[in-house]
Structure formats: structure tokens, C-alpha cells
Amino acid sequence: MPSGTELQVLEAVKKRSGETTVSAVAKDIKMSLDYTRVMCRSLGQADYLDVFRSGKIRLTLKGRNVVEKKGDR
């Protein structure tokens, strides 16, 4: 299960239709670009996000499910 800050990243991606850039998420959650990039890479390794070389990120089904479950609480 992602940490609280990682959940913020997933929620920010979901608010942007499930696909955006790392820099847009960093601005949304008011974190540094470098730290956001590290979190996105970690979430990608855990299969919550698809992370592309272009800087784009996209929620995976697993990531979408986590965000939706958190919203149900």
C-alpha cells in the first residue's frame, strides 16, 4: 500500500484524467520535481503508475483501484 505522500501523487494523476507529467504533479502537490520524480519511479516499480521516458505518467489499474478505495473511506 502506498504511503500518504505517494497517495497524493496518485490522486493528483487521477485528477488530471489519469495521465499527466511528473512536473505537473509536482506543482499540484507542492513538492520538488526531484522528489516527485523519485516517488513516481517507486510507484512505477510497484505497478501503480506507468512511467515513460518522455516524462509522462499514467495510472495503472492497480493505481486507479487504490485511489478509488481511498475515496470510499
Percent of the chain scoring above 70 in pLDDT:
96
Which pLDDT belongs to residue 69? Answer: 87
Per-residue pLDDT band at 12 (split at 50, 70, 90): very high
Short-list 6, 73, 66, CA closest to 37? 6
The pTM of the full predicted model, rounded to 2 decimals, is: 0.90
Q: What is the CATH number of domain 4-72?
A: 1.10.10.10
Mean pLDDT, all residues of the chain: 92
Question: Which band of pLDDT confidence, cut at 50, 70 and 90, is reported for residue 73?
Answer: low
Dist CA 22 CA 10 (whole Å) = 11
Cβ(56)–Cβ(19) below 8 Å: yes
- Asked if the model's pLDDT at residue 72 lies above 70, the reply is no
